[in-house]
Structure 1
Amino acid sequence: MTAISLKLRRIGLPRLIVHVSVLLIVILWLIPTLGILVTSIRDKNQITTSGWWTAFVGSSQTSAVRLGDPATAKQEGGKFVISGSVFENGATGKVQAFGTRVQEPAAYKVGQTVDLGEGESLLINGDGTYVQSKATAFEGRPKRIYLTVTVPPTFSLDNYRTVLNSEGLGQAFINSLTVTIPATIIPILISAFAAYALSWMQFSGRALIIAVVVGLIVVPLQMSLIPLLRLYNEIGNIFGVPSKTYAGIWLAHTAFGMPLAIYLLRNYIAGLPKEIMESARVDGASDFEIFLKIVLPLSFPALASFAIFQFLWVWNDLLVAIVFLGTGRDQLVLTGALNALLGSRGGNWEILTASAFITIIVPLLVFFCLQRYLVRGLLAGSVKGG
């Protein structure tokens, strides 16, 4: 029996299947993300001519150029000669072939003199230099030719500068942070207090409140959005508060996020050792002191797990942001700005990919910073409880 088969037996088939499945899921998520990142830093012309997986080996492009002005021709050995380079404005590359018709852009090889008829010949080298000669004087406009050029890979942050400055995503990015950070912190603070009360404080109606919280988890957002908006507008009219404010969207996300937060945190806090709570009470600690000094530090994994979910939900939200914040240029969040770009710049892949990566970079950072607490907090919150 080989060493590989022994190792497979030691791991076990079920565990091996789990590992392979997780690896496949990681690959399926990683490939599109890598594609967006690579495309976002590529040149516009390279994006339209080759896939992102060829970004590091260069790309082949076909372009039309005009040779030198006939007025610059010089007489050499009884012929009129125009020389120069097909690359202009600092462009670089290696010419593979050329042609005089758009239907045959690679009709001739580089490095050999081609007879174009009527006493005219053309030589184009791989570095782009050319020599055009004719027995008689050149007339009319400069000659148009078509080139097949291998362009070296080009990477820059110009797409991101364009998106953040010209396309207005810089303001949308700030708007998203302004919405997401408070809308993540507020429900956590309120839910942590509620979860402690439902776990360790005795009062009438506690079981009913827990049942209501569990029921609210399954209430669809779309069903409660309009009643909540009407209630908010009515309260705003009474107190003279504008309807499209950050406070409104913070309250909306808090209301939609609190049921799940209370459920997860309550299950986790209820599973904390009872002896710790009793010892603190014997020492004269109040409920607030127990909550602040004991429960909160021990509940950090559960708090971090919900923070990830709430942050991702609010950051990727579009519906609540449009309803409670508005659709003005200064009010749009990132998802709204990206949706607008899809309609106006749908063909500009360099703009869309840079915008998409700006949209996902913050959630990725949040997840990687807190992911070690995610599984621990969710598992503890799902199996503990009382």
Structure 2
Amino acid sequence: MEGMAGQKSSLAWAVNLAAFLLVLLWTIPTLGLFVSSFRDRDQISTSGWWQSFSGSEQTGFVRSGTADDQVQQDGVYVIEGSVVEGSQELSAWGTGARQPAEFQPGDTTEIDDGIQLTVTEEGTYRMTSAEPFELSRGERIFTTTISPPEFTTENYGRVLTAGGLGRAFMNTMTVTIPATVIPILIAAFAAYALAWMQFPGRALLTAAVVGLLVVPLQVALIPLLRLHNDLGIGKGYIGIWLAHTGFGLPLAVYLLRNYMVGLPREIIESARVDGATDFQIFRRIILPLSFPALASFAIFQFLWVWNDLLVATVFLGNTREQLVMTGLLRELMGSRGGEWEILATSAFISIAVPLLVFFAMQKYLVRGLLAGSVKGG
């Protein structure tokens, strides 16, 4: 029979396909953001990031010189110039908006009585006439050019200096690291007590922790902010550390308690027989064995605090010196909505650290989450 132990489910292919699609849907936008962070404004506005590795085609026009720019050579009057910039390559040109690619590089056409126009493969043009030019405004020369792939690190320089992201990055680190460490320290002690210490009301406390998991943090923002204001810690790092600690503790205690309950009872009983105290058991046995669960919660808490905007806005403030990275990105989207290269660079910097943390500790994530899912106390 399919689905029994040792049998491979017939739906395994569907699970694998769904996992592959989820990874693909997450990877493609991240890759696009990374590539866009190295492109300039013109490239982003004219082509997609997937076209950045090949030459991008652009259509436009330039105006030739006027009568003031003419010179006389070999009995004819000449106006010369260029229709391309930098490393662009000319693929076609024209003299009218309806047919902007009518001619190939090197062709010559007559744009007016007695006026000949030639555009070379190098992108230079030459207008000649037997009579003096009377152009007060240059002739329009439409061009179709191909720009080679080009990447720049100037976006990162602007963002980290003039953009203010460096200060916001430090603010975010100042908030995130203590808001990740403090809940782990408190929850580890509480989880050990709920898992292995006998005292009245232990089951009631465990049920209260589970109940707090479903309480939305939004309902506690205003009462907690009032309490912080009464204590004098309303707008500062201490207030936001305590807020994140309070919001993260239920999940931390629940996760660590379930993990510690699944640890071998014989090890702890042997340590007690040998005369070890609860603190010695906790420090020398429980903590080393619980590292996967500690690491898995650290990943969750770090990512949640790093990407938080609501709690930072309420408990830290909106001044330029207090903004975290999510708050700065919100301001950049409002004030620099057209500077997509700055937004892309800022957004990628904001997700780079969480990505490093996740990939560095991902091997502990599944182990820590699943270790206490079957066996409990």
TM over 0.5: yes
Residue 99 (structure 1) aligns with: 94
Quote how far apart the aligned CAs of 1:317 are.
Answer: 0.6
Residue 135 (structure 1) aligns with: 130
CA offset digits 1:265-294 (Å, max 9, x no partner): 001011111111111122222111111111
Gaps in structure 1 of 5+ consecutive residues: 1-9
Equivalent residue in structure 1 for 2:253, among 262, 265, 285: 262
Equivalent residue in structure 1 for 2:198, among 194, 199, 202: 202
**Does 2:209 match 1:221?**
no
Structure 1: distance between partners of 2:309 and 2:98 = 47
Residue 305 (structure 1) aligns with: 296
Equivalent residue in structure 1 for 2:106, among 108, 111, 124: 111
Structure 2: distance between partners of 1:180 and 1:384 = 32
Given the superposition, is the C-alpha separation of residues 125 and 341 from structure 1 closer, same or farther in structure 2, using an over 3 Å criterion? same
Structure 1: distance between partners of 2:63 and 2:281 = 80
Equivalent residue in structure 2 for 1:252, among 243, 254, 275: 243
Q: Which is further off, 368-377 or 155-164?
A: 155-164
Quote how far apart the aligned CAs of 1:120 are.
Answer: 1.4
**Contact 1:98–1:108 (CA<8 Å) still a contact in 2?**
yes
**Does 2:37 match 1:40?**
yes
Residue 21 (structure 1) aligns with: 18
**Contact 2:94–2:141 (CA<8 Å) still a contact in 1?**
yes
Query: In the alignment, residue 248 of structure 1 is paired with which amino acid?
Result: G
Quote how far apart the aligned CAs of 1:70 are.
Answer: 4.4
Quote how far apart the aligned CAs of 1:12 are.
Answer: 5.0
Q: Which has the higher helix share?
A: 1
**Contact 2:256–2:294 (CA<8 Å) still a contact in 1?**
yes
Equivalent residue in structure 2 for 1:273, among 239, 264, 268: 264
Q: Which is further off, 108-117 or 244-253?
A: 108-117
Quote how far apart the aligned CAs of 1:102 are.
Answer: 4.7
Residue 177 (structure 1) aligns with: 173
Percent identity, aligned pairs only, is: 61
State the secondary structure of the residue aligned to 2:245: helix
Query: In the alignment, residue 290 of structure 2 is paired with which amino acid?
Result: S
What are the residue-to-residue correspondences of 1:158-169 with 2, within 5 Å?
158-169=154-165
Q: Which is further off, 314-323 or 157-166?
A: 157-166
Q: Which is further off, 127-136 or 297-306?
A: 127-136
**Contact 2:180–2:301 (CA<8 Å) still a contact in 1?**
yes
CA offset digits 1:87-116 (Å, max 9, x no partner): 34xx11111222344554334332101111
Task: Give the count of matched residue pairs.
Answer: 370
State the secondary structure of the residue aligned to 2:157: helix
Residue 385 (structure 1) aligns with: 376
Given the superposition, is the C-alpha separation of residues 163 and 105 from structure 1 closer, same or farther in structure 2, using an over 3 Å criterion? farther
Quote how far apart the aligned CAs of 1:75 are.
Answer: 2.3
Quote how far apart the aligned CAs of 1:142 are.
Answer: 4.2
Query: In the alignment, residue 259 of structure 1 is paired with which amino acid?
Result: P
Residue 70 (structure 2) aligns with: 73
Query: In the alignment, residue 56 of structure 1 is paired with which amino acid?
Result: F
**Does 2:354 match 1:363?**
yes
Residue 53 (structure 2) aligns with: 56
State the secondary structure of the residue aligned to 2:235: coil
**Does 2:345 match 1:349?**
no
CA offset digits 1:299-343 (Å, max 9, x no partner): 011011111111111011100000000001111111111111111
Residue 229 (structure 2) aligns with: 233
Structure 2: distance between partners of 1:62 and 1:110 = 15
Query: In the alignment, residue 42 of structure 2 is paired with which amino acid?
Result: N
CA offset digits 1:39-74 (Å, max 9, x no partner): 111122111111111111111112333334644533
Query: In the alignment, residue 218 of structure 2 is paired with which amino acid?
Result: Q
**Contact 1:196–1:269 (CA<8 Å) still a contact in 2?**
yes
State the secondary structure of the residue aligned to 1:105: coil
RMSD: 1.7
Equivalent residue in structure 2 for 1:290, among 278, 281, 284: 281
**Contact 1:105–1:148 (CA<8 Å) still a contact in 2?**
yes
State TM-score, norm by structure 1: 0.91
Given the superposition, is the C-alpha separation of residues 170 and 147 from structure 1 closer, same or farther in structure 2, using an over 3 Å criterion? same
Quote how far apart the aligned CAs of 1:20 are.
Answer: 1.5
Structure 2: distance between partners of 1:128 and 1:56 = 23
**Contact 1:95–1:128 (CA<8 Å) still a contact in 2?**
yes
**Contact 1:264–1:382 (CA<8 Å) still a contact in 2?**
no
Gaps in structure 2 of 5+ consecutive residues: 1-6
Query: In the alignment, residue 10 of structure 2 is paired with which amino acid?
Result: L
Residue 4 (structure 1) aligns with: none
